C-alpha cells in the first residue's frame, strides 16, 4: 500500500479544508469533508534539554547521559524526571522543548503518574517522554510475585473440591501474607471484572475459572422473573440443565454471569441457593428488569430457554492450565500454571487508578512506551491541548486504554490489546456542540484488538457515543478524525459512534461482535442529533453487522465502503437522514440492506431522550440550522419514521436472495419520503473486481459498474487499514492481524445470517 504517510496526509487534510466554512454558511460537501487536523510536531533531535531515566538509575543523579562529561547518570523514576522538568521550566522552557528518554525495563507505579498545566510544552517546543532508541520501557501497575509465593495445596477439603484433572497441579498463594489489595469478594451484581485483581503470566492474561470453560450453557426455564427496583428486591429463580451446579456450595460464594434477559446485557449475579433436587438456582438479589428473555414473558415457564450463562471464579472449575480463582472466604489464590513458575514473569494488577493522568497540559507527548498491568485505565487526558500518544502499547489493563477529552490531541500508531473495557473513549469538550466547534482530535493508524475482556457490552475499540451504557448522556464529540485503524476480535462493536462532523475513514474491521446482540461495526442508538457523521472508505468484513444506527439514530453519510461477509450489511432502525451511497456489498446471500419503522410502535414521537436531545441544541438557530437544515423542522415531522433514507449507486454482489429487507408497514415501504432506491446494481456475477479470489475488492478500470452506474466513483481499497508511518515501522502479519482461519471466533455450527439491530 504505497500511499502518502499518515502525517503528511493529516496536514494535507488541514490545508484542503482552508476554504470550507464549517460554522456558518452552506453545509459542506459531506462526501469530501474532513475535520481540520493540526498534528503536533515531534522532532527526533534538536531539543533544548534532554534527561534520561532507567530502572537501574538513581534519583540522586543528574539525569544526564552517562557519556556526557561530568554526568552522574539517569534518574530512577519518571516522576522525578517530571519534577526536574518543572524546575527547569521555571527559568523558561528551552527552545526546541525537552525530551525525557526512558531506558527499557519495568517502571513500577504505586500511584498514578500525574501531569498538569505546569508540565506543558509549547507549540514548536514540546515536552516528550519517549523510549530511548529501540528499548522497551514498561509502565506497570501490578505487583510481581515469585515462584516461592506459591505452594502445593495442603488443605484436604480444598483438594477434594478440585476437578480430578486439576488435583496435584493447582498451587495456592496466601493473599493476606502477600499484602495484596483488591481480593474481593465480588459485589452482588457487577458487569465488569468485579473489582478483583487480575493475574498475568509471562505477559498474558490468565483466565479466571469458568464453567463451561470457553462457552455458555443455557437456562432450561425461568420460574421467577424477579425484579430489583426502588420498592422491591425479588430474586430470580431458574431451572438449570446439567448436573455440574451440584458441585458448588453457595456458602463459599458462587456468581453466575449471563445474558439473562437481552443479548446486550451480561451482568454477574450472586447465587443465594442451589436446589440439587429440583435443579433450581435462586439468586441472592433481584436484577433490574428480571431474568428470562424480555420477549418471552407472557406464559409460564418464562423465557426462551436460550438465555446464555456461565459460572465464574470457582475452584471446582479450574480444569485447564492458565486458570485461577480467589477463594474469598480463605483469601487464597488458586492457580494452575501453564508452565513452570521458576523464571516466569508473574504479575497481579494492583493500581486501580489510571497509570498516567494528564489534566490541562498542552504540547505533551508520550512516544514508544508500554502501559500495562493496571486495574484502571492506561491513560486519561482531560482538557488536553495538542497532546500526543504515539507508537505506544497498551495491554493487560482492567479499564479502558485511553480516555481523551481535549482539542488537537492525537492517538497515533498505538497497539492496544487484552483490554478489560474499550480501547479509546473520546469525550466532547464543554460548549463545542452548541457552537459546533471542531475538536481537531485524531485517532489514526492504531491496531486495536482483543478488548472487552472484562466488560464485553458497550466496550468499543473507539467510542465517540453520547450515551454510555444506554443511560448517561455525555458531551458530544465534534470534528474528530478517525482513520486507518485495524480493529478485530472483540465481543461487541468496533465503533460506538456519535457526535457531529466526525469522519471515520480507511479503517478495517473484522471478527467483532461475536458475543452480543444489537450491534454493528458502526453502532449508534437513540439520538436524532447525530449529524454530519461521515463513514467513508472502510473495509468491514467477516464480522457481525456493518452500519447499524439503532433506535432512531440518524444523520450519517455512508460512502465508498466495502461490506463483505455473511453477517455484514446496513440496517436502518427507524432513524432519519441516513444516506448509503457508492458502497460495495459482497455476500453469498442477501439481504444486504434492511429498514424498519419501529419508531411507530415504540413511541419514538414522544420519547423524552430523543426529543430532549434535539431541544438542547436549538435546531432552529445557527449554527445548527445552517449546518444541518434538515433538522430544523424535525420535531414537527413524522420524526419517528426513517425520513429521507437514500440507498443510491451501490454495488450488490450476491449469489442468491433478495438484496433488500423492507420491514415497514406496506404503505411505508413504498413511501419515497422514507426510502429511495436509486441506480443500484445487483449482480450474481463478479462485477469486475481486481482479484475476487484473493480478496482484492478494488474495481478494474473496465468494470461494468462504471457503465451501469454512471455516477459510481472508484473506492481506494489499497488505502484501507494500517499504514507505515513515523511511529509504525512495519505492518502486522496476517497472523498478528487476526486474519488466519484458525482465529475465527465463530463455531462451524453457527448458521446465523442476521446482521440487523
- Mean residue pLDDT of the chain comes to 93
Nearest alpha-carbon partner for 434 in 622, 576, 612:
622
Report, as an integer, the average pLDDT of 565-577: 95
Show the cell assigned to 237: 429463580
Do 173 and 243 share a domain, yes or no?
Answer: no
| 380 belongs to a structural domain | no
Show the cell assigned to 750: 453457527
> What is the pTM assigned to this prediction?
0.95
User: Residue 383: which pLDDT band, with cuts at 50, 70 and 90?
Assistant: very high
The pLDDT value given to residue 340: 97
Report, as an integer, the average pLDDT of 137-158: 96
To 5 degrees, how large is the angle CA 694–CA 583–CA 3?
60
| b/e map 158-183, b = 16+ CB within 10 Å | beebbbeebeeebbbbebeeeebebb
| 93 belongs to a structural domain | no
The pLDDT value given to residue 4: 39
pLDDT tens by residue, 239-271: 999 999 999 999 999 999 999 999 999 999 999
**What's the Cα-to-Cα distance from 98 to each of 79, 503, 700, 746, rounded to whole Å?**
15, 33, 50, 49
**Phi-psi bin for 184: left (phi > 0), alpha (psi -120 to 50), beta?**
left
Query: What are φ and ψ of residue 629, in 5° steps?
Result: -60, -25
| 15 belongs to a structural domain | no
Residue 116, Cβ neighbours under 10 Å: how many?
15
The pLDDT value given to residue 475: 78
Report, as an integer, the average pLDDT of 184-199: 97
Nearest alpha-carbon partner for 532 in 560, 559, 507, 499:
499
Show the cell assigned to 97: 522543548
The pLDDT value given to residue 14: 38
To 5 degrees, how large is the angle CA 149–CA 152–CA 153?
110
The pLDDT value given to residue 18: 30
Residue 377: is its pLDDT beyond 50?
yes
Tell me 602's DSSP state. T
Query: What are φ and ψ of residue 508, in 5° steps?
Result: -115, 130
Do 302 and 320 share a domain, yes or no?
Answer: no
The pLDDT value given to residue 702: 95
Domain count, the chain: 3
Do 500 and 649 share a domain, yes or no?
Answer: yes
Do 266 and 342 share a domain, yes or no?
Answer: no
Domain that holds residue 293: 217-312
pLDDT tens by residue, 580-599: 999 999 999 999 999 999 99
pLDDT tens by residue, 393-449: 999 999 999 999 999 999 999 999 999 999 999 999 988 999 999 999 999 999 999
| 504 belongs to a structural domain | yes
Do 537 and 598 share a domain, yes or no?
Answer: yes
Do 155 and 267 share a domain, yes or no?
Answer: no
In angstroms, the CA 38 to CA 692 distance is 38
Do 331 and 439 share a domain, yes or no?
Answer: no
User: Residue 25: which pLDDT band, with cuts at 50, 70 and 90?
Assistant: very low
| 288 belongs to a structural domain | yes
Do 305 and 224 share a domain, yes or no?
Answer: yes
The pLDDT value given to residue 257: 98
User: Residue 190: which pLDDT band, with cuts at 50, 70 and 90?
Assistant: very high
In angstroms, the CA 456 to CA 458 distance is 7
User: Residue 23: which pLDDT band, with cuts at 50, 70 and 90?
Assistant: very low
Point out the domain boundary residue: 312, 338, 366.
312
**What's the Cα-to-Cα distance from 168 to each of 151, 158, 165, 199, 684, rounded to whole Å?**
11, 11, 8, 20, 59
Show the cell assigned to 225: 422473573
Q: Which of 25-34, 143-152, 326-335 has the lowest mean pLDDT?
A: 25-34
Do 637 and 736 share a domain, yes or no?
Answer: yes
Residue 693, Cβ neighbours under 10 Å: how many?
7
Nearest alpha-carbon partner for 181 in 437, 9, 352, 426:
352
Whether the link from the prior residue into 623 is cis, omega within 30° of 0, is yes
The pLDDT value given to residue 1: 37
| 343 belongs to a structural domain | yes
Residue 468: is its pLDDT beyond 80?
no
Do 498 and 406 share a domain, yes or no?
Answer: yes
Query: What are φ and ψ of residue 309, in 5° steps?
Result: -155, 165
Show the cell assigned to 52: 534520561
Point out the domain boundary residue: 312, 339, 357.
312
In angstroms, the CA 706 to CA 687 distance is 10
In angstroms, the CA 508 to CA 488 distance is 8
The pLDDT value given to residue 300: 82
Residue 7: is its pLDDT beyond 60?
no
Query: What are φ and ψ of residue 18, in 5° steps?
Result: -60, -30
User: Residue 301: which pLDDT band, with cuts at 50, 70 and 90?
Assistant: confident
Do 202 and 264 share a domain, yes or no?
Answer: no
User: Residue 10: which pLDDT band, with cuts at 50, 70 and 90?
Assistant: very low
The pLDDT value given to residue 747: 74
User: Residue 650: which pLDDT band, with cuts at 50, 70 and 90?
Assistant: very high
| 3-state secondary structure at position 623 | coil
The pLDDT value given to residue 20: 27
Report, as an integer, the average pLDDT of 679-688: 97
User: Residue 474: which pLDDT band, with cuts at 50, 70 and 90?
Assistant: confident
In angstroms, the CA 30 to CA 237 distance is 52
Residue 91: is its pLDDT beyond 70?
yes
User: What is the greatest pairwise CA distance in the chain?
Assistant: 86
Cβ within 8 Å of residue 15, ≥6 positions away: none
User: Residue 231: which pLDDT band, with cuts at 50, 70 and 90?
Assistant: confident
In angstroms, the CA 245 to CA 281 distance is 9
What is the dihedral angle through the alpha carbons of 431, 436, 442, 443, rounded to the nearest 10 degrees?
A: 80
Judge whether 219 and 303 are in contact, CB under 8 Å: yes
Nearest alpha-carbon partner for 318 in 452, 479, 208:
208
The pLDDT value given to residue 393: 98
pLDDT tens by residue, 315-356: 999 999 999 999 999 999 999 999 999 999 999 999 999 999
pLDDT tens by residue, 48-78: 999 999 999 999 999 998 778 788 999 999 9
Query: What are φ and ψ of residue 440, in 5° steps?
Result: 70, 15
| 3-state secondary structure at position 656 | strand
Judge whether 562 and 692 are in contact, CB under 8 Å: no
Q: What share of the chain in percent tops pLDDT 70?
A: 95
Do 701 and 604 share a domain, yes or no?
Answer: yes
In angstroms, the CA 319 to CA 164 distance is 8
| 406 belongs to a structural domain | yes
| 467 belongs to a structural domain | yes
List the end-to-end C-alpha distance of the chain, in Å, as a whole number: 34
| b/e map 395-428, b = 16+ CB within 10 Å | bbbbbbbbbbbbbbbbbbbbbbbbbbbbbbbbbb
The pLDDT value given to residue 21: 30
Residue 110: is its pLDDT beyond 60?
yes
Amino acid at each position: 500500500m504505497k500511499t502518502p504517510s499518515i502525517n503528511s496526509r493529516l496536514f494535507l487534510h488541514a490545508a484542503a479544508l482552508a476554504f470550507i466554512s464549517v460554522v456558518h454558511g452552506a453545509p459542506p460537501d459531506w462526501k469530501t469533508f474532513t475535520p481540520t487536523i493540526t498534528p503536533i510536531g515531534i522532532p527526533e533531535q534538536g531539543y533544548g534539554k534532554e534527561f534520561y531515566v532507567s530502572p537501574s538509575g538513581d534519583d540522586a543523579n543528574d539525569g544526564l547521559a552517562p557519556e556526557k562529561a561530568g554526568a552522574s547518570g539517569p534518574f530512577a523514576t519518571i516522576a522525578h524526571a517530571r519534577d526536574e522538568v518543572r524546575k527547569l521550566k521555571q527559568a523558561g522552557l528551552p527552545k526546541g522543548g525537552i525530551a525525557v528518554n526512558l531506558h527499557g525495563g519495568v517502571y513500577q507505579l504505586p500511584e498514578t503518574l500525574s501531569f498538569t498545566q505546569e508540565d506543558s510544552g509549547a507549540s514548536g517546543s514540546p515536552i516528550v517522554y519517549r523510549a530511548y532508541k529501540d528499548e522497551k520501557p514498561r509502565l506497570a501497575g501490578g505487583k510481581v510475585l515469585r515462584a516461592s509465593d506459591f505452594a502445593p495445596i495442603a488443605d484436604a477439603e480444598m483438594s477434594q473440591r478440585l476437578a480430578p484433572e486439576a488435583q496435584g497441579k493447582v498451587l495456592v498463594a496466601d493473599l493476606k501474607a502477600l499484602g495484596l489489595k483488591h481480593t474481593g469478594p465480588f459485589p452482588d451484581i457487577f458487569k465488569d471484572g468485579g473489582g478483583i485483581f487480575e493475574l498475568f503470566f509471562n505477559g498474558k492474561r490468565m483466565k479466571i475459572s469458568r464453567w463451561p470453560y470457553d462457552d455458555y450453557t443455557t437456562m432450561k426455564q425461568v420460574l421467577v422473573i424477579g425484579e430489583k427496583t426502588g420498592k422491591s428486591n425479588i430474586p430470580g429463580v431458574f431451572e438449570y440443565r446439567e448436573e455440574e451446579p451440584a458441585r458448588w456450595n453457595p456458602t463459599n460464594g458462587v456468581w453466575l454471569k449471563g445474558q439473562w434477559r437481552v443479548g446486550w446485557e451480561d451482568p454477574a449475579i450472586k447465587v443465594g441457593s442451589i436446589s440439587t433436587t429440583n435443579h433450581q438456582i435462586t439468586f441472592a438479589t433481584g436484577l433490574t428488569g428480571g431474568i428470562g428473555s424480555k420477549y418471552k414473558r407472557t406464559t409460564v415457564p418464562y423465557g426462551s430457554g436460550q438465555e446464555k450463562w456461565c459460572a465464574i471464579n470457582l475452584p471446582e472449575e479450574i480444569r485447564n492450565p492458565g486458570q485461577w480463582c480467589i477463594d474469598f472466604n480463605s483469601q487464597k489464590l488458586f492457580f494452575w500454571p501453564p508452565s513452570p513458575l521458576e523464571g516466569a514473569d508473574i504479575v497481579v494488577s494492583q493500581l486501580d487508578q489510571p497509570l498516567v493522568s494528564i489534566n490541562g497540559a498542552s504540547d505533551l507527548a508520550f512516544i514508544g512506551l508500554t502501559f500495562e498491568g493496571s486495574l484502571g485505565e492506561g491513560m486519561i487526558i482531560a482538557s488536553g491541548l495538542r497532546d500526543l500518544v504515539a507508537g505506544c502499547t497498551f495491554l493487560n489493563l482492567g479499564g479502558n486504554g485511553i480516555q481523551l477529552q481535549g482539542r488537537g490531541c492525537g492517538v497515533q500508531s498505538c497497539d492496544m490489546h487484552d483490554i478489560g473495557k474499550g480501547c479509546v473513549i473520546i469525550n466532547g469538550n464543554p460548549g463545542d456542540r452548541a457552537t459546533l466547534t471542531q475538536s481537531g482530535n485524531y485517532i489514526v493508524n492504531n491496531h486495536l484488538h482483543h478488548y472487552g475482556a472484562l466488560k464485553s457490552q458497550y466496550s468499543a475499540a473507539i467510542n465517540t457515543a453520547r450515551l454510555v451504557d444506554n443511560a448517561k448522556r455525555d458531551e458530544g464529540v465534534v470534528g474528530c478524525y478517525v482513520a486507518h485503524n485495524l480493529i478485530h476480535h472483540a465481543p461487541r462493536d468496533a465503533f460506538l459512534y456519535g457526535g457531529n462532523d466526525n469522519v471515520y475513514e480507511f479503517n478495517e474491521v473484522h471478527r467483532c461482535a461475536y458475543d452480543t446482540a444489537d450491534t454493528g461495526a458502526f453502532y449508534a442508538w437513540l439520538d436524532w442529533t447525530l449529524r454530519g457523521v461521515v463513514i467513508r472508505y472502510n473495509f468491514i468484513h467477516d464480522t457481525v453487522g456493518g452500519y447499524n444506527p439503532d433506535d432512531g439514530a440518524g444523520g450519517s453519510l455512508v460512502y465508498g465502503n466495502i461490506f463483505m461477509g455473511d453477517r455484514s450489511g446496513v440496517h436502518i432502525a427507524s432513524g432519519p437522514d441516513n444516506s448509503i451511497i457508492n458502497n460495495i456489498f459482497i455476500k453469498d446471500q442477501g439481504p444486504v440492506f434492511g429498514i424498519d419503522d419501529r419508531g411507530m410502535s415504540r413511541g419514538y414521537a414522544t420519547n423524552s431522550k430523543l426529543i430532549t436531545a434535539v431541544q438542547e441544541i436549538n435546531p432552529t438557530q445557527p449554527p445548527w440550522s445552517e449546518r444541518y437544515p434538515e433538522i430544523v423542522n424535525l420535531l414537527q415531522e413524522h420524526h419517528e419514521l426513517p425520513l429521507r433514507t437514500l440507498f443510491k449507486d451501490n454495488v450488490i454482489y450476491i449469489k442468491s436472495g433478495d438484496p433488500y429487507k423492507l420491514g415497514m408497514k406496506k404503505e411505508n415501504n413504498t413511501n419515497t419520503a422514507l426510502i429511495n432506491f436509486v441506480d443500484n446494481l445487483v449482480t450474481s456475477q463478479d462485477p469486475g473486481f481486481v482479484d475476487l479470489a484473493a480478496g482484492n475488492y478494488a474495481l478494474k478500470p473496465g468494470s461494468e459498474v462504471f457503465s451501469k452506474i454512471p455516477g459510481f466513483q472508484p473506492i481506494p481499497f489499497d488505502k484501507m487499514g494500517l499504514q507505515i508511518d513515523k511511529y509504525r515501522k512495519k505492518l502486522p502479519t496476517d497472523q498478528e492481524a487476526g486474519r488466519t482461519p484458525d482465529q475465527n471466533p465463530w463455531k462451524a455450527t453457527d448458521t446465523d445470517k442476521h446482521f440487523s439491530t
